[in-house]
Amino acid sequence: MTTAQFYALCGVVLFAIGFHGVVTRAHQLRKLLSVNVMGSGVFLVLVALASRATGGHPDPVPHAMVLTGIVVAISATAVALSLVRRVHEGDAGEAPGDDAREAGP
């Protein structure tokens, strides 16, 4: 088994662990962390792929994909965290459970 294959395998294992976490954990924060673990798994697979390129230089494409992926993951995590806070702290504005009132005027 080459190093790259090992990394890829680790990535897949991480992905599986993360997925298990998302499905089984009840707490939203834990779910969110599990999603991040899944993401790391995918990024590891991509990084491992980069080493397969011929000519000694790593393939830049997976790297670009990982970078983009990380940006997406960070922003999604930030949004999710603020939502988690909102769910747990109750509402900022209107009374909770008042389904009739919508956001509009």
Binding residues for another protein, per CB under 8 A? 15, 18-19, 22, 28, 31-32, 35, 38-39, 41-42, 45-46, 49, 52, 59-62, 64-65, 68-69, 72, 75-76, 79-80, 83-84, 86-87, 90-94, 96-105
How many CB atoms lie under 10 A from the CB of residue 65?
16
Task: Provide the minimum distance between the beta carbon of 42 and another protein in the complex, in angstroms, as a whole number.
Answer: 5
Task: Provide the minimum distance between the beta carbon of 3 and another protein in the complex, in angstroms, as a whole number.
Answer: 15
How many CB atoms lie under 10 A from the CB of residue 69?
16
Distances in whole angstroms, Cα of residue 77 to Cα of each of 34, 39, 98, 99: 11, 11, 28, 27
